[in-house]
Chains A and B, each alone.
Chain A
Amino acid sequence: MDHSAHSAIEVRGLSVSYGSTPVLVDVALTVPVGAGVCVTGENGIGKSTLLRCIASLQRADAGEIEVFGGPPGSTPEFWRAVVTTVEPPTWYPGLTTREHAELVCRAHGQDPVDAGIDEALERFGIASHADAIPPSMSSGQKQRLTLALALLRPSRLLILDEPEQRLDPEGRASVAALLHAYLADGGTVLMASHDDAFAAAAGCTMISMADLHAIDAR
């Protein structure tokens, strides 16, 4: 991975179809290192597909994608630099919410106390569920836990699909502030969202999918 590259993400001529239905046609996108970009657009226009391709979770029909100067892949180096919430999460059986957070911290060589696990769970409003197993929590609480885990561990790029979903207004403000701080620390954020106010509070520049030359999938 080329750490000297100026662009965190470079997408050129990306095309994806589902069967005979084209979703993305000749899409181009550049996200500089340290920038926050929020892709907006109506449902079905291809925001999630674009994010999945950039996170190497979906193969494109055509086009080039570079993340930090190299092709995105399934290597551990890639996943130590990139965190995504594009996929629905799974949880380890028999492990509580707090233990999931500790596991993630320890896997990245962080001390759980120094990493501020308890503060993170408190900030995301799930401290009272620290001893619960994640499958027993509501969808909103699981969404908060996913974001908390994503922000607890070190990374250089966050790829988030509608992070404001299932969060109450207070939660949205809190997550937006955390993303703003992440950008201020030099991290890069690419997200898809329907909430312009949330994206602005997170410090992200908004780009419409239509401007990326995607076609309407309806």
Chain B
Amino acid sequence: MTATATATVRVAGVRRWVRRTRSAHRERGETLGNFYFAVLFVVIVGGMLHRQLTAIFWPGTPNASELAGGSLTLLITGGLYLALRRLGPLGLSRPAASWLLTAPVSRRRLLLPSLWLATIGAAIAGALGGFAIVGHVAARPVPGPAEALLPLIGALLGGGLLLIALGAQADRWWSAWSDNAAYLVIAVGLAGLVVDSAWAAPRAPTGWPAGAVVTTAAAALALVVTTLFLLAVRRLARTPNERILEASKTAGTLLDSAFGIEPSFVTEMVERRYWARRRLRSRRLWARVPVLVAQDLLLLRRRPRRLIWLAGATTLPALLTHAPGWTLGAAVLIGGLAAGGTTAATVRTDAGNPVLLRLLGLSSREAITQRLWVPGVLAGLWYAATLTLLHGLGDLPAGPWWALGLALGPVGAAATLRKARTGFVDNSLLPLDTPMGAFSTGPALSAVAGVDILLLGLPTVVQIAQGTPLTWTGVVVQGAVAVIGARAYLSGTTATDRVELR
């Protein structure tokens, strides 16, 4: 061992050596086989879903107003930015992060391929968004420059967002500020869609968008993005190590989650990072309520932003007022899962490992009874606000819809807890053979866990689908089904002589 400095080596050479060594362990033709299967997969899935893809990106006739088009642009912009921020956007594979980031190689050359990959990915996402907006909004025939240039503007916007996200990756203040701005953009976009749905905004005139506007916007964006890209390449080496490591862990967890069909990896990572960033101050647990209710209330108090989003989300079912009644009813019911899930992380912790429940000495019956309260109240209030809003917008007939919402609270609570207690996907279950190939039952069962309990809200779905005025009898029937169902869930899945939740 010598204590001398090592000379800088070329990244390309190291990467070539790694590639050659790895390929030496592979069977001959394996890479070609993987490529063949990837192409086959795209062709088969494309063939199966081409109608749905056409409906999403280029319907036969335009079906959205100019306002909806603008709102969708904001939604895609904010969503793409936040997705890029969550992914890094600049990252390395886990082996490269472990071995090459600490090696004496040029950081810029090491990170440049990742930058290119991320830029191309963001540009493709932006182009698809631009294409879909033209397809939904522009009257037929679509003006030539718009048809070609709007996807290009989307691609440039995607690239620009990536470069802004890259700046945020290197600067904590900028990252917090830009994330908040992106959330605001999404909120404005959602509000625009709700207004469009309630007001039936006018369709875009023939010739929209004007060729001169599109050309000018494309030229200006091209200039800005090129300048930002050159600046980004110049400053690439300054991206902090810990941010690159974080991004590589995110990518690794996403891959693990996708290959293992195990979404809980991602949920756990998001939860851990959220609390790791927070600065907390110890508070006393409220002594007048059972201890786990007090814990859930404390957790609720620490998630004010989630509560604001939940309040905003009460307007989302209004987007489906033109859909069949059962779709609207089902969407309302599913929304309760998001409301109840605000404090579900505590149940996920206990379901995954009952160490703390053993320390607390509580039976599973006591624990789940206490854990049902906060999700129940949250879901009940969310359902009440949503149904009252739909009624106020004239999308529901007369009746005490607020009371029906509150009566649905136990359904939301039981569904939330069932979902949180599911734990890891059971991949040991036998797959089902179907004409389209083998179908994994474990992930499917895991996906519907919780949603199945929402069937207790069937009286509400029927009520909305029928479109008849709501009576107090209807409220009482729903309330009775909800309470009996939640009690059956409690007594059927917990015991007074068992601590473990599963």
Contact = CB atoms under 8 A, between A and B. Distances in A.
Interface of A: 74-76, 79-80, 83-84, 87-99, 102-104, 106-108, 112, 130-133, 135-136, 149-150, 153
B280 A76 contact: no
B22 interface: no
Contacts of A75: 363, 497-499
Contact of A102 (B285, B345, B352, B361): B285
Contact of B499 (A79, A91, A95, A108): A79
B417 to A, nearest CB: 16
A79 B361 contact: yes
9 contacts: A74-B499, A74-B500, A90-B349, A90-B353, A90-B356, A94-B298, A107-B361, A107-B362, A136-B276
Interface residues of B, number: 40
Contact of B349 (A74, A84, A93, A103): A93
B358 interface: yes
Contact of B360 (A74, A96, A107): A107
A72 to B, nearest CB: 12
B359 A153 contact: yes
Contacts of B299: 93-95
Interface in B340-358: 345-346, 349, 352-353, 355-358
B361 A108 contact: yes
Interface stretch (B8-16, B77-85, B155-163, B287-295): B287-295
B361 A95 contact: no
A156 to B, nearest CB: 12
A91 B299 CA distance: 14
Contacts of B140: none
Contact of B283 (A80, A99, A104, A108): A99
B282 A99 contact: yes
Contacts of B345: 92-94
Contacts of A83: 359
The 6 closest A-B pairs by CB, nearest first: A80-B361, A107-B360, A98-B282, A76-B363, A106-B291, A79-B358
B26 interface: no
B19 interface: no
B356 to A, nearest CB: 6
A136 to B, nearest CB: 6
B258 to A, nearest CB: 24
Contact of B280 (A74, A79, A96, A102): A96
Contacts of B282: 96-99, 130-131
B487 interface: no
B302 interface: yes
B499 A133 contact: no
Contacts of A95: 295, 298-299
Nearest to B360: A107
A84 B363 CA distance: 17
Interface in B350-392: 352-353, 355-363, 366
B99 interface: no
Contact of A149 (B285, B295, B359, B497): B359
Given A90-B356, A91-B349, A107-B361, 14 more contacts: A76-B363, A76-B496, A79-B358, A87-B353, A93-B274, A103-B291, A104-B359, A107-B291, A107-B362, A112-B284, A131-B280, A131-B282, A133-B275, A133-B280
Interface in B257-278: 271-272, 274-276, 278
Contacts of A106: 285, 287, 291, 294
B203 to A, nearest CB: 47
Contacts of B361: 76, 79-80, 107-108, 153
A131 B353 CA distance: 24
A155 to B, nearest CB: 9
A87 B362 CA distance: 18
Contacts of A112: 284
B499 A94 contact: no
B276 A135 contact: yes
A149 B285 CA distance: 16
A21 to B, nearest CB: 25
A60 to B, nearest CB: 19
Interface centre among A84, A89, A90, A94 (most CB of B within 10 A): A94
Interface in B284-328: 284-285, 287, 291, 294-295, 298-299, 302-303
Nearest to A111: B287
B346 A92 contact: yes
A84 B355 CA distance: 9
B284 A102 contact: yes
Contacts of A88: 355
A79 B496 CA distance: 13
Nearest to A90: B353
Nearest to B348: A93
A116 to B, nearest CB: 15
Contacts of A107: 291, 360-362
A76 B281 contact: no
